[in-house]
Amino acid sequence: MNKSYNFALTKAVVTVIVGAPCLFSQPKPEVILPPTVEGNWVRTDENHSGSFDGLTDTYKQAELTEEGKTLFARFGGRRPQEPSANDPTHKPGQPYVTNPRPCGFNQGQIGLEYDSEGFHAVMNKEHITFVQARGWQRLVYLDGRKAPDPSNRTPTNSGYSIGHMEPNGTLVIETTDMVPSRVTAGGVRSAETIVKQEYIPDPDGKRLKQVFTYIDPKLYVKPHVYEYTFERMEPGAYALETFCDATDPLWGQTVVPPPQ
């Protein structure tokens, strides 16, 4: 009996030692969550304003520190040669070539916010990619990597983003290293600002809330928070193309809304 006991004990120990690595090499089961940020989304106009400025006008304005106010003032409004839709010098219905940033300058690098054209998200094991109809993309790394040392990077419009998925399908992202600029609702950012974004899908996966929190004690009295909502596009929806052609006279045309 003792012999059998010893044999079994030895066999078990050897098997565990040899087998352990293969235990860890087994593929982990995929977690499929019905509510997901993956897919095609279009932004909703919650307060029926009819324009982006109108949508964000109702947002609570940022509370900036003196340093924040100084930085905010440094980034002026639109350039003189870039008339906005509300520019009084343009008559309704009058096409006008503005084209101050012709194609190729920044390759349409998208930032953290998505305008009314909506966005598309595709996720694999390493990252989630966000794109819009224009070129370039934003990657959010989900594989647990840390943001590299800022001295090794050049700030970009979309910054450096790392994130993780919560069990309920919420995607939590932290972004730093962005090109300094103004942000929505009277805010401002520097390369050191941390932007926390939460993409929170409804349980049925048809709507998505995107909550922004700008964290930077140098620039804000308290974190600057605002949110957007999106609706999932219908099945069969597809991405459009914004073909940026500097020779197209309509490319930089300002769309002037007719009198309301």
Residues that bind another protein (CB under 8 A): 1, 4-5, 8-9, 11-12, 15-16, 18-23, 25-26, 36, 38-39, 81, 93-100, 102-107, 109, 120-129, 131, 135-137, 139, 145, 156, 236, 238-247, 249-250, 252-253
Owner of token pair 């307060």:
47
30: nearest Cα among 114, 113, 123, 112: 123
3 state SS of 12: helix
Looking at the Cβ atoms of 52 and 136, the one nearer to another protein is: 136
Looking at the Cβ atoms of 10 and 61, the one nearer to another protein is: 10
Cβ(49)–Cβ(57) below 8 Å: yes
* Residue 32 backbone class (left: φ over 0; alpha: ψ -120 to 50; beta: rest): beta
User: C-beta of 63: minimal distance to another protein in Å?
Assistant: 33
User: C-beta of 41: minimal distance to another protein in Å?
Assistant: 13
Which amino acid is located at 114 in the chain?
Y
Looking at the Cβ atoms of 44 and 253, the one nearer to another protein is: 253
CB burial string 130-166: b at 16+ within 10 A, e below = bbbebbebbebbbeeeebeeeeeeebbbbbbbbbebe
Looking at the Cβ atoms of 11 and 78, the one nearer to another protein is: 11
Looking at the Cβ atoms of 52 and 96, the one nearer to another protein is: 96
User: C-beta of 19: minimal distance to another protein in Å?
Assistant: 3
User: C-beta of 33: minimal distance to another protein in Å?
Assistant: 11
Name the phi and psi angles at 11, rounded to 5.
Answer: -60, -40
User: C-beta of 42: minimal distance to another protein in Å?
Assistant: 16
Largest CA distance in the chain: 101
Name the phi and psi angles at 232, rounded to 5.
Answer: -70, 135
User: C-beta of 186: minimal distance to another protein in Å?
Assistant: 28
Q: Let me know how long the chain is.
A: 260
Looking at the Cβ atoms of 137 and 229, the one nearer to another protein is: 137
d(CA 143, CA 139): 12
Looking at the Cβ atoms of 15 and 86, the one nearer to another protein is: 15
User: C-beta of 243: minimal distance to another protein in Å?
Assistant: 5
Q: In the numeric block, which tokens belong to residue 39? A: 């897919």
